[in-house]
Amino acid sequence: MEILSFDMINYLPKEVICGKNFKKYPLIFNKNENHLFLFYLASISKGKYQAKRKYSYIINRHIKINSETFEVVGLLQAEMGKTQNGCLNFANHEFKIINKVMNWFEKELELRCLVETANHMIKSKYSHKLKTRTDTSQINEILMKCLCHNLAVLTSENFKNGLEIDLSFCAEDYPVEIHG
C-alpha cells in the first residue's frame, strides 16, 4: 500500500520576508527525491561595505498525509491568523496545542529548523567568533552564549505574554557555594 504524501515543492513561497522592514528576497531551491534545499541571499551593508549572506535550510520533500497533519496545519493557520504579519504566535497559551504542533514538527521535520533558528539567533546576537583559546574555555564560552540566549528568550516571553517564570527549583538543585 502506497503512503500518500504532500510534495512540499508545490507549497513553497516565491519569496522570503525578513527583518523589521519586511524586505523581500527570492527563495531559491534545489531538490532531490527526498529533500528540498532552500536558500536565499540577503543584502548586508556595514558602512561603505556591501555583501550578500546566504541563509539556507533543508526540509523533507514529502510529508505524510494523515489526520494529524491536517490537524496541525489547521492549528497553525488559526494561530497565524491572529497576528498582523502572519508570524506564528501562540497567543492563547494552550500548552496542549503548542505541544501537539511541536511534537508533529519534531516527528515530521526532525526539528532541524528550530535548531538552525536557535543557532542563527545565538550567532547573530552573541557573535559567531569565540574569543577564548583552549578547548575547555571555548566549550564554556559556547555554553554561556546558550545560557544567555535562553535567559533572553525567557525574559522576552515573560514580558510579551505575561508568563510567570519560577526558577526557584533551579536554585534548589544547583546551590551556589561562596568561597572567601
pLDDT tens, position by position, 67-94: 888 787 777 666 655 555 555 555 555 6
pLDDT at 79: 60
Mean pLDDT in residue range 157-168:
70
For 164, residues 6+ apart whose C-beta sits below 8 A from its C-beta are 158
Rg (CA), the chain: 20
pLDDT at 35: 83
pLDDT at 108: 72
Mean pLDDT in residue range 13-30:
83
C-beta of residue 17 within 8 angstroms of C-beta of residue 26: no
pTM (two decimals):
0.47
Rounded to an integer, what distance in angstroms lies between the CA atom of residue 114 and that of residue 130? 23
List 56's β-bridge partners, or say none.
39
User: Is the model's pLDDT at 107 over the cut of 60?
Assistant: yes
Cell 544547583 sits on residue: 174
Please report, as a single letter, which amino acid is at residue 45: S
With a pLDDT cut of 90, the percent of the chain lying above it is: 1
List 80's β-bridge partners, or say none.
none
Rounded to an integer, what distance in angstroms lies between the CA atom of residue 128 and that of residue 53? 14
**Please, which pLDDT band fits residue 109 given cuts at 50, 70 and 90?**
low
C-beta of residue 25 within 8 angstroms of C-beta of residue 41: yes
